[in-house]
Amino acid sequence: MSEKNFSEFAQKLNLVFKDESLLRLAFTHRSYLNEHREEAHRGHNERLEFLGDAVLELTSTRFLYDRFPTHQEGDLTAYRAALVNANTLSEVAARIGMNDYLLLSKGEAKDLGRARQILLANAFEALIGAVYLDQGYDGAEHFLSRYLFPKIDEIVKKRLWQDAKSAFQEKAQEHEGETPTYAVLREEGPDHDKQFVMGVYVRNVLVAEGEGRSKQEAEQEAARAGLERKGW
């Protein structure tokens, strides 16, 4: 379905856009335009995602700086990584109903696994970029304060900010007597928005995969998935 009611989405979140074309753009994946050439002039959401990523980093850093006045840089960096990773962003995006409004190719629309999580996380960043362009820094900060920043309570309570690689290595040595290794499984996306898929192995057996914008981030995601897979 190509026609979606983006005004309806905005109303659900109490968002009022002066330029609603920005909202549509935030939901438009590159693949959608391959099947709807007549809409190619509208563009896709990668530039908005690029902008939203920067806005997200600044606003989340300021939020954490104010929220935890006695915590050191290392803790704040770990908190931020857990708050803005693809898992958290895709979870929030799904909760606010973004999945129902994504403009995707038929092929992309069929994939409901990890690839859909990444699409949702990217679209959420694009939405941040759209809100920023339409309503400025204060508007973007207000949006994130309502829908993303409250996640920090769960992150701190469940210690989701801890270094997953260190935890997985500790458990692998404890239970298997082996040190895990990591390898690049594939690289996806354009150069300015590269996604790395890393695999974590124990005894040369692939335990889990993880995806991120750097090899280090992808390794952390793989380790986190490995901990869940192994029940550690």
pLDDT of residue 1: 40
- Of the candidates 231, 23, 60, the one whose C-alpha atom is nearest the C-alpha of residue 155 is 60
pLDDT of residue 108: 84
**Which of the following is catalytic: 49, 125, 211, 217?**
125
pLDDT of residue 86: 87
pLDDT of residue 196: 93
The pair of three-digit structure tokens given for residue 2, joined into one six-digit string: 């190509």
pLDDT of residue 2: 45
| 35 tagged catalytic | no
**Which of the following is catalytic: 20, 35, 39, 53?**
53
- Say which amino acid occupies 192: H
Q: In the chain, what are the domains? A: 6-157 (1.10.1520.10), 164-230 (3.30.160.20)
| 125 tagged catalytic | yes
Inter-CA distances, 100 with 3, 48, 122, 142, 185, Å: 11, 19, 15, 23, 30
Half-sphere exposure of 165 (CA within 13 A, CB side): 14
pLDDT of residue 127: 98
pLDDT of residue 102: 95
Neighbours of 119 (CB within 10 A): 23
Beta-carbon contacts of 149 under 8 Å, excluding residues fewer than 6 positions away, are 60, 63, 83
pLDDT of residue 159: 78
pLDDT along the chain (232 residues), means of 10: 80 94 95 85 92 98 98 92 90 96 88 83 97 98 98 87 85 93 91 87 95 88 90 87
- Kindly tell me the burial class for residue 154, based on how many C-beta atoms sit within 10 Å of its own C-beta (0-12, 13-18, 19 or more): exposed
